[in-house]
Structure 1
């Protein structure tokens, strides 16, 4: 039991970049990895746990003033969609096509797409290096986040998993993601990471570039469109592990392993496609 809990704590830390103490607290409270991650991402205080806080009072005051400027007039406890769009314009982010917005969502504790509570917003930005205290300085930092997303395996998984929670919308009890949404998000996240060097999707055993390439990714998209079903959290999460471990020809795939049936079926789909050529 202890060793199983230690394994869950280790995986929780890998995804969230928290300390062992904080990871242990969430895992002991929620018991399973999935429940602990849901608890973490829905806890407003979590935004400051991943990086620690090197902020100062003057910086937090200025960031608080930014939040106050963009908060929603009808719901003053939140910055909502209109405020988010205005912030995006200020920092040069296209919310329809720039995954850096999901980096901010994960780092700043956003629980609903386009919504930000004051404390995690302030503490999340303050946790970034460089004493960021304005939208212009935040804009200058975004290229670092974009690069980190595509090259840092731990950070990629953190943002990727938080995105699943956001993309479900306000139906917090939902266990699946609509297929069209998942397809759009995979296309946003996976190809840039595959083509980066180093890659956030590098082989987990030795950090070699992934043998899963855009060719296999295109086949994944084709397969999922034919399957036509909503995407479970297991499939969403373990696709990343699959990409990081699979060989180019799928020869080393363990058909008896604990992969979701969707990934089993995808492997069969690709093998059939290739042997029929």
Structure 2
């Protein structure tokens, strides 16, 4: 016999799970029953698409056909091997996504293997969307899933790093040999990615040592942006990547920073900048 209040608690958890994931009540109920908490259930939902789709590891042919038809509708007339910028903007309008300010597009780019901003090849487009939980087979069902994808970006450390690193490659544009990212582009992307993750609970930028919330907060982020503007140089891939590791490891007062560690010189200089700024107050 269930304990008093158990049913109402489970109903609340199921409702919360459905609101975040966009899953059906049946799937939400099965995940909450198995994992007992919304957080654990969402972790499983995000990390095991096969179980989220009811245990099938491959999409059905009908789903692939419908997704293929979406791609065909928006493909470029002058380059029929790709959906390009015009098609992407049309898709964004259908999804209610602002392409200039919504990080979820970078999630799609990483998951659908977009190699150039706003361009999508058919096979990875279809396979990528089919791999998402919830049997997505239309732009409407994809739109319903986007809130869960945004939450995953801000709360899942592994997924955040995957999307963040793919974005560096994407943001370099078609200069595939470039080793750096233009500073203004990097500043815009850091502002897009990092503050929402810092304030999410759990945070994709949680401390690696003990999985507690990051001690690097809005104040430190603002100092980083100020420092990089003053530095005025393009951003290397090492600096781009290791900034995330730095955020996940540093304490509020920067006392735990290893000055002899193998950090990029830009991060060494940033630590000196912050320590000097704070000691002068």
2:154 is matched with 150
Which digits, 9 at most, give the CA deviation of each residue in 1:25-54, with x for residues without a partner? Answer: xxxxxxxxxxxxxxxxxxxxxxxxx96753
| C-alpha distance in 2 between matches for 1:159 and 1:208 | 22
Q: How far does residue 169 in structure 1 lie from its aligned partner after superposition?
A: 0.1
Using the alignment, how far apart are the partners of 2:68 and 2:207 within structure 1?
A: 41
Corresponding residue to 1:175 among 176, 179, 183: 179
The equivalent residue for 1:207 is 211
Post-superposition offset of 1:188:
0.1
Output the TM-score relative to the length of structure 2. 0.80
Aligned to 1:250: 254
Q: How does 1:33-48 map to 2 (within 5 A)?
A: none
Q: Could you give the per-residue CA deviations for residues 94-137 of structure 1, whole angstroms, max 9, x where no partner exists?
A: 00000000000000000000000000000000000111000000
Q: In structure 2, which of residues 189, 192, 211 is the aligned counterpart of residue 185 of structure 1? A: 189
| CA–CA separation in structure 1 for the residues paired with 2:210 and 2:131 | 30
Note if 1:123 corresponds to 2:127. yes
User: In the alignment, is the contact (CA less than 8 A) between 2:49 and 2:133 conserved in 1?
Assistant: no
Could you tell me which residue of structure 2 aligns to residue 38 of structure 1? none
Alignment equivalent of 1:264, drawn from 262, 268, 272: 268
Structure 2 counterpart SS, 1:85? helix
Deviation at 1:206, TM superposition (A): 1.1
Partner of residue 54, structure 1: 58
1:155-187 C-alpha deviation (Å, 9 max, x unpaired): 000000000000000000000000000000000
Choose the corresponding residue for 1:70, options 58, 71, 74.
Answer: 74
For residues 223-259 of structure 1, what are the alpha-carbon distances to aligned partners after superposition, in whole Å with 9 as ceiling and x for unaligned? 0000000000000000000000000000010000000
Are 2:75 and 2:83, in contact at CA under 8 Å, matched by a contact in 1?
Answer: yes
Q: Give runs of ≥4 in structure 1 deviating > 2 Å.
A: 50-54
Alignment of structure 1 residues 131-146 onto 2, 5 Å: 131-146=135-150
- How many residues are treated as equivalent by the alignment? 228
Segments of structure 1 that go 5 or more residues without pairing to the other structure are 1-49
CA-based RMSD: 1.0
